[in-house]
Amino acid sequence: MAISAIKGMNDILPGDVETWQFLEQKVREVFGTYGFNEIRTPVAEKTELFCRSIGETTDIVEKEMYTFLDKSEKNSLTLRPEGTAPVMRSFIQNRLHALDPVNKLYYMGPMFRYERPQKGRYRQFHQIGAEVIGVENPMIDAQLLAMLHHYFCEIGIEAVQLQINSLGCPACRPAYRQVLISYLESRLDNLCGDCQRRYQTNPLRVLDCKVSSCKESTTDAPSVLDHLCGECEEHFDAVKRHLCTLDIPFVVNARMVRGLDYYVRTTFELVTDQLGSQNAVAAGGRYDGLVESLDGPALPGIGFAIGVERLVLMKGEAKVPARRPDLFIATMGQEAADKAFVLMSQLQRTGIRAEMDYQGKSLKAQMRRANKLAARYSLVLGEQELQSGEADLKDMDQSTQQKIVLSELVDLMGKLRASA
């Protein structure tokens, strides 16, 4: 039996890959404009990195990681479930803070989580992420969100809502956590099994639970926003003010908590109603203590990650079309094929996408293929054309043709493409 791919891990085929390339190209353009540089880290890291940063009681570390011992049977490795921890590990290891007090980095690549595969949720999926390390000023929170908003405008996805919240900091969150635990204690019977288990270890997660009984029984839960310390409140107010100044639309969602332990203060999600229960297209927040907790310098940080598969699903019908050939050269006879082969190679050298037939097909079959590939122009080369040095260049879109001199074909195609 033929071998198939691993469940939850997908191929990205021609026809779809053009959309991926478009999304990636726009990342380079937009993120580049905001001064971000790309960083590439390995897909596997020491398991410890994720346990220490993401948190032992999170869904990711508790049940979603691809963890294995390598051949030495001494090293526990994990396929990265997210991008922030590896970027911080690299940042510290390579002492990037010594080169520049402010680091703006972005990454794109596959992430791995052992989840139940379904629409918008896979075991290998891709994230586009950005991180700013070294700035505490709430202006950078707003700037990062402005960049995210700008990116979504550029890629033509508008059906998203920006939700923001503040999760407080180590000074104010413990007190809120206690208030929440007491509140949950009186409603334990109505909570799902997961929440009954985690209300002590990770009570904020209960607010985020998708189970309806958990939602219903916590509608009047105390709000984290009523328990922020003065500094966190000031920070959150400033973020909202800057977003308003920049005309970035948002709503405050006091129940939004993120599934990773390292978040403090500003957190946010871009949500859509187009993807069923997989409603978050992008998410992120501030992680001021993270770099220090990984034995790096005490520098603040903030970042986000976009789920690329979910972007592609949202693009739906508006997928980016495959690139069409500029010219298809159809041939009759071996001599014409030899000539076409040289012409095609010359054209390709100048950046013109030229195609021909290699299989000795009939002229009719070759023209069918030219049509199928949606070639912009076509040209038939036979004995007569070789002798006269002239041929008819057919404009396949307009159904018109013009006589051309074969020796001028490369120049002419260059001009036609430039004016297209």
Binding site for ligand ATP (CB under 6 A): 82, 113, 115, 120-122, 125, 127, 259, 278, 280-283, 305, 307, 309-310
Measured from the CB of residue 62, what is the shortest distance to ligand ATP in angstroms? 12
Q: Which is nearer to ligand ATP, 127 or 217 (CB)?
A: 127
> Distance between CA atoms of 49 and 1, rounded to whole angstroms?
39
Q: How far is the CB of 326 from ligand ATP (least distance, A)?
A: 36
Chain Cα centroid distance, residue 314:
12
Rounded least distance, CB 320 to ligand ATP, Å: 20
Q: Based on CB atoms, which residue is closest to ligand ATP, 26 or 310?
A: 310
Closer residue to ligand ATP (CB): 13 or 420 = 13
The Cα–Cα gap between 202 and 106 comes to: 29
355: which 2 tokens? 């195609």
Q: Hey, how many other C-beta atoms are within 10 angstroms of the C-beta on 14?
A: 7
The minimum distance between CB 54 and ligand ATP, in angstroms, equals 9
Residues whose CB falls within 8 Å of the CB of residue 3, separated by 6 or more in sequence, listed in order: none
CB nearer to ligand ATP: pick between 126 and 235: 126
The Cα 132–Cα 256 span in angstroms is: 22
**Which residue sits closest to ligand ATP, CB atoms considered?**
307
Cα 299 to Cα 17, 54, 133, 259, 261: the distances in Å are: 38, 17, 7, 22, 17
Question: Smaller CB distance to ligand ATP: residue 281 or 406?
Answer: 281
Angle between the N-to-C axes of helices 138-154 and 230-245, in degrees from 0 to 180, rounded to the nearest 10: 40
From 147, 146, 140, select the one nearest 103 (Cα to Cα): 140
How many angstroms separate the CA atoms of 56 and 65, rounded? 11
Nearest-approach distance from CB 276 to ligand ATP, in angstroms: 11
Q: Give the contacts of 193 (CB within 8 A, at least 6 positions apart).
A: none
How, if at all, do strands 124-133 and 301-307 pair? Answer: antiparallel
Is 167 or 356 the residue whose CB approaches ligand ATP more closely? 167
The CB-of-162 to ligand ATP minimum distance in angstroms stands at 13
Would you say 235 or 258 has its CB closer to ligand ATP? 258
Q: Which residues contact 413 (CB under 8 A, 6 or more apart)?
A: 326, 327, 347, 350, 352, 354, 377
> CB 405 → ligand ATP: shortest distance, Å?
54
C-alpha angle with apex 249: 248 to 251, nearest 5 degrees? 130
Considering only CA atoms, which of 222, 236, 69, 247 is closest in space to residue 150? 247
Which H helix or E strand runs over 181? helix 173-185
Pick the closer one to ligand ATP by CB: 151 or 328: 151
**Shortest gap between Cβ of 280 and ligand ATP (angstroms)?**
4
165 or 366: CB nearest ligand ATP: 165
Which lies closer to ligand ATP via its Cβ, residue 121 or residue 173?
121
Q: 403 pairs with which residues across the strands?
A: 392
**Spatial CA neighbour of 87 closest among 41, 127, 55:** 41
Nearest-approach distance from CB 129 to ligand ATP, in angstroms: 8
